[in-house]
Structure 1
Amino acid sequence: MAYAAVASVSETLSLILNHHQYAVFLDQKRRLRSLHQHLKFLRAFLEDFPDKAIHLEGRIRDAATEAEDIIEHLLSEEIRSWSSTGGGGGRPRTVHPSPHRTANSISRRLQKMCQQLPKAAEVVGSIVEEVMGIKNSLGAVQDPQVLTHSSPPTTSSTALVPTKKYDQKIDAMVGFEEDLLATKTRLYGGSSKLEFIPIYGMGGIGKTTLARNAYGDSLIVEHFDIRAWLTVSQDYSVQQMLFALVDSIKPFNEKFDGEKHSYEQMSEQVYKSFKGRRYLVVLDDMWSTKAWDDVRRILPDDSNGSRIIITTRLQDVAAYADSSSPLHEMRFMDVDQSWILLRQKVFNEQHCPAELESTGMMIARSCKGLPLAIVVIAGILKTVSQTQASWEDIAKKVNLAVSAKDEQFGRILSLSYTHLPHHLRPCFLYMGCFPEDYEIHVSKLVQLWMAEGFMKPSVSKSFEEGAEEYLEDLVKRSLVLVNRRKSNGKIKSCSVHDLVRDLCIRKAREEKFVLYALDRYVDRILPKPIKDQHRLSIPRSTMLLFQNIFTPTIRTALYFQHCRLFPSSLKGFRLLRVLDAQKVTVMKFPAEVLELFHLRYLAFTRGYDDLCIPASISKLENLQTLFIYPYGGDNAFYSAICFQAEIWRMAQLRHLVFFMLDPLPSPCPRSFALENLQTLALLLNFRCSERIGQIFPSLKKLGLIYGKDRVLNWEFYGLHNLVHLHQLEKLKISMPISSWESHSPTWIPESRVPLWEKLAFPRMLKKLTLGGFMLSQQDMATIGSLPNLHVLKLRRCSFRGGKWETTEGEFAQLKFLKIESTNLKHWVTDSSHFPTLERLLLYHCPELYEIPNVIGEIPTLELIEVKSWDEFLGNSAKRIKQEQEDSGNECLRVRILK
């Protein structure tokens, strides 16, 4: 992966040249600057002339990787040498060399490594000369030294308008309308006995899309009491399937927490909750009959019209559940259906130019009726110019791809990779690091991409914003699927189709991009292929495996298996940048981590006991993201994390999330500022000084908790100073609740803490979540006056007097409103008071019997969702829906959760 390697080493060199001085590089500065310019030149060449760089990509990748290995090993040795010669385990932010400690006085080991750097730079220089010759022939040559004083490159992007889709992504069933009608008929018609609907066919033919459309149909939603979607896949986990079933019964039994119960207890509870209720369960992507056996005994048969859908590529698995149930085989699309789907995906509702129709038909025919291939090719066509020449070029490549009998569809999918811009290729290949059918949270994915060095610097947008645009581009090309979107339309989680993931893995191996450790016996096969690998993904294995792997080149380790051990051999991974051990539980902070100087991303789960973070964590001066997850959910409330003031010395930090803390030491020094910090959560009893805006000038997301040993005078915490956080977009402030209250849907007015009259929020705020407070009319007016507020969530809050009355001009931009577990009784409002509201969620409001009818008149409203044991509120929502339908508005959806 040439582009990723060049981008990564360029970023490393930028840090060395612009921010730090190291003794080991004192006599190498000129060479490093030259190398840096050469790499920037190669990076620009890869972006501007991707077709001309194909025969050079392997050499560029290997040369850049070797140079970075040498540089980072030298840095590691420098840091270790400093610590062992008087550094006292720490190191100043910038190393200022002294006359007694120069490059001539460093160890022989370092001198030997330094001698390798000129050779690596020489190789890069020779490639640059070759590239300049190519650019000369194209009349587009530019001396790499000219780049020295150029401004940072900006990220080019396509303007994207996110689709307003909040539920699971549902694709149009072009060409399969009859299949959908037949499936829906079997779901709510026919016999009252438990029936099975097996759907089978090859990968990418539309099985999951058919099941998803039926599952999300409004009539189906209303027909069934319980719905559950279980993605099985080849590496299925009985426990994960059981958790999915437990999650589906939450509306009926909120007190039941699957994490606290055994397999037998969860199975029994699921059976009891399903018993007597009409349910729909989808078992998607089933590969074995054993998976069916593991689930079948948990589901009762009460002859009440319950249904089970199974999707699989294997006919025998489809027939196994019930040999008497007719199988629904997905067939290939004909040419006309293929062209309709291709045209719709490329042009949406717009007209296709007449000169492109014949070529488009040719391309559609070449896809051999496979919907996934059509969708992927459409993603390519949307990115090229809408000219006959461009389309004919694509048509030739598609025909070439399907000419071979074997892996023809894999060849079609490979075209999507070859048409990716170089800056998107590493981001795409990274999707293959995640297990099959894994739901990827975008916030985490973005932070991983940043830590890997995939993102280009830009003067107009942050790294995070650039990464989100990269992801939207991959979605537009139909290479990434959107699972869920946020209330603002941005992607919340995503995934990749199995066939696309196979492509990622195949290309990643070809490009030496990632190494997969698949099971505990992998050490028997690793010694040879691991030599030049840089990323390690472990979907299922014991942590003991890590101790059997030794390579100095691994920079990324991703774990997807729960474990209570932490690898004790991390010292063998001196160049590690990413250590995603979220699934790994540690009882005390692992000292080995402090030796990983290059670490940029660190995540792990803490145990029940208190956790002390040593002051020496400031040695990790390149760390950008630190996540410490709680173990056991609400149980983690009783354990604490202790930090020293040195945490505020880590200037590269961008995302700091701890989940429940003892109070952090306040950042007092007047000259202090964490300019890069964007996320800070969750802080306990945090005092906001007047200088908070100067200390955290870039903060966008803040989470605060107040309760334990709290000071009763709210002004002590200085929350009115939050107004100085001019970049803050998301704010969560909550009072903790007792464990018994967390399972109660009722409100406890005496437990609520009133907000204070000097309440103030920054005007850039887009999302506000409040929990456990008493809210006055003035409080709500203050919140309503925020000009950019899009999302408001009030959980376990109470309204003074049980009344909320809005006025004209409030909540001008509010799109999402959720009110949960409150004493709200009288809601006085008007449709004009929420002019842009799209979603209204009312959960457990036992005293609110009626939703104001005017809510239905809000022109932008798409959904009213009610969760309540009482029928009054649900009936009120249904009446509003009926009134809107009578007046011609069929866009409003009403969802009643019990």
Structure 2
Amino acid sequence: MKEVLRSIGVHYDTDENEGELSSKLKAAIQEESFFLVLDDVWQSNVWTDLLRIPLDAAATGVVLVTTRDDTVTRAIGVEDVHRVKLMPIDVGLELLWKSINTKERDVPDNLRDIGLDIVRKCGGIPLAIKVTASVLATKEKTENEWKKFIDRSAWSVSNVPTELRGALYLSYDDLPRYLKQCFLYCALYPEDQFMLREDLVRFWVAEGFIEKRQEQLLEDTAEEYYYELIHRNLLQPDPRFYDHRWSKIHDLLRQLAQHLSGREIFFGDLQSLEAKDLSNRRRISAFTDKDSVMLSNVGQEHIIRARTLMIRSRKTPRIANTIFRRLPSIRVLDLTDSSIESIPDCIGSLIHLRLLDLDGTIITYLPKTIGFLINLQILNLQRCNALRNLPMEINQLCKLRRLGLGGTTIDRVPNGIGKLKFLNDLEGFPIGNGNDNTKTQDGWNLEELAPLLQMRQLHMIKLERAAPCSTTTSEILKDKRHLRVLNLECTERTEVYSEEEISNIETIFARLIPPRNLEDLYITGLFGQRYPAWLGTSHLSSVKQLYLTKCKSCVHLPPMGQLPNLRYLKIVGAAAINKIGPEFHGCRETSPGSLGVVAFPKLEMLDIIDMPNWEEWCFVEERENDATVGIGGEDDGGVDIQNRDGVSSFLQLLPRLKELRLDGCPKLRALPWKLGKEATSLKKLKLGGTSCLKVVDGLLFLTETLQIMGCEGLERVSSFPQVRELRAQACPKLERVNGFGNLQHLWLAEDMEQIARRWVPGLQEQHQRLHKEGIDVHTWIY
């Protein structure tokens, strides 16, 4: 019901009950018409008990239901049923070859016949074909191997529900032992909820699922497990993230995991469980919409034998701290965003506890008995805004691997964190200039990081408080061969930094040289006037993701175009920059031997946001006798750079760029004229708050979406022959839109309806002439 209210723009409070929400929906829909889609419905009561009565108040309405269960359609009273046809055999065979990265012409006839049998066994279901292909991909492409595969008894197993048999069960049965338990663990998450890679990695490590490999951290091995589940199509990655850090499990595969886990796990409202049943569960994921998580059916003296307890709620559930007395066997305890007010001293008796997640709780202190948790590996305290200090006993957690302090106000910390030799993940590490003679201090010294050789992820804050660098500072990070993620952050403040502070921070950043294996780098709030010299050099040859946020005083961007593996670049709040030129790609001049240079060779996503003084963007400096060319101008292809000897060298730009977003750049006058010629893989262009742009045209290779929002000076958009979707909002001067020969969907905000009348007929006429049909025009509610 809340989803419906959100979709029609009705506000509600988080503590409103079902009756109050129903009344709001009824009032909003009174005498109106609606079209409601209920997707993938498994229980009819979502309509019969929840939505039907308030929606009866509407004048007219249409409800579209998708389901795999015929009893749902009958209970809801569906009038017209459309049964989706199964995938044809030939199309299914094409999907099979594509899923194993094989072209059909390369498949021998004997394997093609077996492939047909496999597709038939999959029953024309795309998911079944994909997971089967993932299993096949692990086998040799020989007739004997494929015949053994198709003859396996797992195809005909009978002890699972009918819809989970065949290919779905086979995809699980083929997993190595170490992956089976990781896959089953995903059943503890709600249906359709995205799971964060780092969360799964930490859970799996704490549960003891990860096999130790020589010279490799458990977290790195766990991450390999995660990606193997994706490659096997058992997890579905969120396409918005290039590194697939978010994923979810298909509902059928989730049902399979729940079925195979049997009575070992429980997902749902704890109040539905009897005491005896609760005590037999090894892993419990309590998910509820209620205000509190209560064990009302379980006597206060009853012991819960679970090894895992997760609390999940759309609200902030109240949890009594007596819960700690009843979990003697607990290994994983996740109380994220609950309103538990204090942690009792008895927590020290939970000697098996390996993961304690208190993210977003309102606790004000940690008891000293926390030091008795000798097996604790992961302690998450992010967003604990009332927590100010860490007790000295933290240093007794000799097996600690992660300490999460991000988003807290913790400042007073114990001296000696370097003694925790297994620590490899530090988030929100406050830097200070502490006195080694005190037991507690205001932040840790940089030098205390030196003994932590297993460091894998490091997030340092308050770097402005670091003491002037010693000669050893440059080695603090450089020798950490496991370091993959580095976040360097200074505090934003209203007062101006002194020249001494600026000089010191520039020196500190210059000496914090990361190792060559670093993959993700975040720099936030750097108040110096220049970036460190190591940024943008070949030293960072492994960096895939780079964020530069609120570095307001840096007047030039570092030369990042030659980072060979950079895939995602985000620049936010670089207020001192008014021009981005050839220094950005680092190829201003080239030597005669540097032919065929590629700038940003692997960059896929580029976001430039909140640049209030940025006026000009170019890839090549114009020579005096060159004519100024707009983005739609003619040229002969690549960028031709002249070096001092007069020798031309060819520069290729952004060959893999898929998405470009410019937002909050009010003074930018034009896009680079080479962008339309060089970015041959571009799929999405999003422009927002670029008020000075008057013309956007000539992006011939843009294929999917052009989105323009708040471009108040924009007058013309043209020459986008491949774009399939155009979205426009708050562009009051946009009087000319043409050259969209392949446009299929046009989304217009209400404020665009009047001015769009000047060019929508022309677009419709062109589309009708080329495709014998009109363009679909929609109202864009953003």
1:545 counterpart = 2:292: no
1:289 aligned residue: 47
Q: Quick one: which amino acid aligns to residue 867 of structure 1?
A: D
- 1:204-223 to 2 correspondence within 5 Å? none
**2:461 paired with 1:705:** yes
Aligned pair partner of 1:762 in 498, 503, 513: 513
Distance 2:667 2:15 in 1: 31
- Number of equivalences: 612
Q: Flag the 1:878–1:516 CA change in 2: closer, same or farther, 3 A.
A: farther
Deviation at 1:533, TM superposition (A): 3.4
Matches within 5 A, 1:779-794: 779-785=531-537, 786-788=539-541, 789-794=543-548
Pair 368,690 (structure 1): closer, same or farther in 2 beyond 3 Å: closer
Aligned to 2:606: 840
The equivalent of 1:646 in structure 2 is 393
Query: In the alignment, does 2:660 pair up with 1:864?
Result: yes
**Residues 508-536 of structure 1, C-alpha deviations (whole Å, 9 max, x = no match):** 01xx5x23153253233x51x45543222
**Separation in structure 2 between the aligned mates of residue 468 and residue 449 of structure 1, nearest angstrom:** 10
Matched with 2:137 is: 382
Could you tell me how far 1:882 is from its partner in structure 2? 6.6
Richer in helix (by share)? 1
- Distance across 1 between alignment mates of 2:53 and 2:474: 53
Distance 1:661 1:400, change over 3 A: closer
8 Å contact from structure 1 (residues 482, 494) kept in 2: yes
Q: Supply the distance in 2 between the matched residues of 1:853 and 1:318 (Cα, whole angstroms).
A: 59
| 2:485 corresponds to 1:734 | no
Match for residue 413 of structure 2 among 665, 669, 682: 665
Show CA shifts across 1:378-434 (max 9, x none).
222222332222322332348963999971553442222222222211111111121
Partner of 1:603: 357
C-alpha separation between the residues in 2 aligned to 1:715 and 1:245?
Answer: 56
Give the secondary structure class of the aligned counterpart of 2:540: coil
Residue aligning to 2:437: none
Q: What's the secondary structure of 1:770's corresponding residue? A: strand
1:332: Cα distance to partner?
A: 0.6
Residue matched to 2:246:
493
| Structure 1: runs of 5+ lacking an equivalent | 1-237, 250-255, 271-278, 302-306, 739-747
| Match runs of 1:509-658 below 5 Å | 509=262, 514-516=264-266, 518-524=268-274, 526-527=275-276, 529-530=277-278, 532-540=280-288, 542-545=292-295, 548=298, 550-551=302-303, 553-561=305-313, 562-608=316-362, 611-630=364-383, 636=385, 639-658=386-405
Question: Which residue does the alignment assign to 1:201?
Answer: none
What is the Cα deviation at residue 768 of structure 1?
2.4
Contact 2:605 2:659 in 1 (8 A): yes
Instruction: Tell me the TM-score normalized by structure 1.
Output: 0.59
Of 323, 334, 357 in structure 1, the residue corresponding to residue 112 of structure 2 is 357
C-alpha deviation, 1:445, in angstroms: 0.5
Match of 1:684 in 2: 430
Within 1, Cα distance between the matches of 2:8 and 2:380?
28
Tell me how far 1:501 sits from its aligned partner.
0.8
Amino acid at match of 2:402: H
- Are 1:289 and 1:317, in contact at CA under 8 Å, matched by a contact in 2? no
- Tell me which residue corresponds to 2:221: 466
Partner of 1:876: 671
Distance 1:327 1:264, change over 3 A: same
Cα deviation, residue 365, structure 1: 1.4
CA shift digits 1:480-512 (9 cap, x unpaired):
21125755x3x3011111111111111101xx5
8 Å CA contact retained: 1:566, 1:584:
no
Contact 2:654 2:678 in 1 (8 A): no
Q: CA deviation at 1:472?
A: 1.9
Change (3 A) 1:242 1:762: farther
Contact 1:282 1:309 in 2 (8 A): yes
- Kindly indicate whether residue 169 of structure 2 is the aligned counterpart of residue 373 of structure 1: no
Give the Å deviation of 1:652.
0.8
Instruction: Work out whether 1:814 is the aligned partner of 2:566.
Output: yes
Q: 1:872 and 1:538, CA in 2 relative to 1: closer, same or farther beyond 3 A?
A: same
C-alpha spacing 1:521/1:651, structure 2 compared with 1 (3 Å): closer
Q: Secondary structure at the match of 2:413?
A: coil
- Kept after mapping to 1: 8 A contact 2:196/2:247: yes
Please tell me whether the aligned partners of residues 431 and 445 of structure 2 are also in contact (alpha carbons under 8 angstroms). Answer: no
* Alignment deviations for residues 755-791 of structure 1 (CA, whole Å, 9 cap, x no partner): 33342223324322222332423x2544223424332
State the shift of 1:711 in Å: 5.1
SS of corresponding position for 1:702: strand
Considering only aligned residues, what root-mean-square deviation do their CA atoms show, in Å?
4.9
Aligned to 2:376, the other structure's residue is in SS state: coil
Counterpart AA for 1:835:
F
Contact 1:367 1:398 in 2 (8 A): no
- Structure 1 stretch 582-591 or stretch 848-857: which is displaced more? 848-857
In 2: Cα distance, 1:499 partner to 1:697 partner: 43
1:118 corresponding residue in structure 2: none
Q: How far 1:241 sits from its partner (Å)?
A: 7.0
CA distance in structure 2 between the partners assigned to 1:890 and 1:599 by the alignment: 52
Distance 1:712 1:403 in 2: 64
Distance 1:289 1:809, change over 3 A: closer
* Highest RCO, 1 vs 2 (Cα 8 Å, sep ≥ 6): 1
User: 1:544–1:567: 8 Å Cα contact kept in structure 2?
Assistant: no
Give structure 2 stretches of 5+ with no counterpart. 26-33, 434-443, 588-598, 621-638, 640-651, 681-697, 711-782
Closer, same or farther: CA 521–729 of 1 in aligned 2, 3 Å: closer
Aligned residue number for residue 674 of structure 1: 420
Distance 1:494 1:712, change over 3 A: closer
Q: Residues 420, 404 of structure 1: CA spacing in aligned structure 2 closer, same or farther, 3 A cutoff? A: closer
Relative to structure 2, which stretch is displaced further, 599-608 or 886-895? 886-895
452 and 399 in structure 1: CA distance in 2 versus 1, 3 angstrom threshold: closer
